[in-house]
Amino acid sequence: DIQMTQSPSTLSASVGDRVTITCRTSQTISSWLAWYQQKPGKAPKLLISKASSLESGVPSRFSGSGSGTDFTLTISSLQPDDFATYYCQQYNSYSYTFGQGTKLEIK
Amino acid sequence: QLQLQESGPGLVKPSETLFLTCTVFGGPISSRGYYWAWIRQPPGKGLEWIGSIHYTANTFNNPSLKSRVTISVDTSKNQFSLKMRSLTAADTAVYYCARHRRQQLDDAFDVWGQGTMVTVTS
């Protein structure tokens, strides 16, 4: 099984900050990685697929990069609506796993 | 606009079987390039993929749950379902259904239901 390491687990930041969340996989997965945002009591929302492809309607301050085993989600200028938990998710050989999550908190 | 709605019991006894259904509104379940998935989230924890099914009934499941899980589809009702056997307290979670986009070089869960809480308790 592919192991995923998402970091940090918690991130404190202020409105306007640039933040980066990292996801590392134990085996190469090419660009088979997605990022999701989840707010309390709500279902996750797909932000980015194929490591860097922004979903329709997602603000351009969100961006994804990476391939192979190392991936990042960047929010260029935090807005109040962005404080949430973020998950990465990988696909490999008909198996899907999610990272442990990063809770983005207001500093 | 596509919407998914989970339905099923909120409480299940240990060792019993869970049945959940997801109804798809606003589009056909028999869409090319899409599977339909079940994903769960224990309280305060992360997400776990359970399995996915195509409208042709082709399925693949999480190996860690495979022996306890059956996913089926009913195209006439625009629904797909989850059956999970031999439940324990560890199966207590919010269960989500989701559209599973599987297209060339693209694979992600792009539309989600609101989720339904399932508690395993005697």
Exposed, middle or buried by CB within 10 Å (0-12, 13-18, 19+), for B10?
exposed
Confidence of residue A92 (pLDDT cuts 50, 70, 90): confident
Closest Cα partner for B3 from B111, B117, B115? B111
- Residue A76, pLDDT above cutoff 90: yes
Contact: A50, B49; criterion CB under 8 Å: no
Given a cut of 90, whether residue B16 has pLDDT beyond it is yes
Retrieve residue B48's tokens.
């776990």
The pLDDT assigned to B104 comes to 79
Per-residue confidence band for B34, with pLDDT thresholds at 50, 70 and 90: very high
| Per-residue pLDDT at B105 exceeds 80 | no
Cα(B4)–Cα(A96) distance, rounded to whole angstroms?
21
- Going from the C-alpha of A83 to that of each of A10, A53, A99, A102, B101, the distances in angstroms are 11, 21, 18, 10, 26
Which of B2-11, B15-24, B70-79, B101-110 shows the lowest per-residue confidence on average (mean pLDDT)? B101-110
Contacts of B114 in chain A (CB under 8 A): 42-43
Stretch B66-80: mean pLDDT, rounded?
A: 95
- B69, B84 Cβ separation under 8 angstroms: yes
B87: three-class secondary structure by DSSP: coil
Per-residue pLDDT tens digits for A18-72: 999 999 999 999 999 999 999 999 999 999 999 999 999 999 999 999 999 999 9
Cβ(A30)–Cβ(A38) below 8 Å: no
**pLDDT tops 80 at residue B66:** no
Closest-approach residue (CA) in chain A for B96:
A43
CA dist A105 and B67 (Å) reads 39
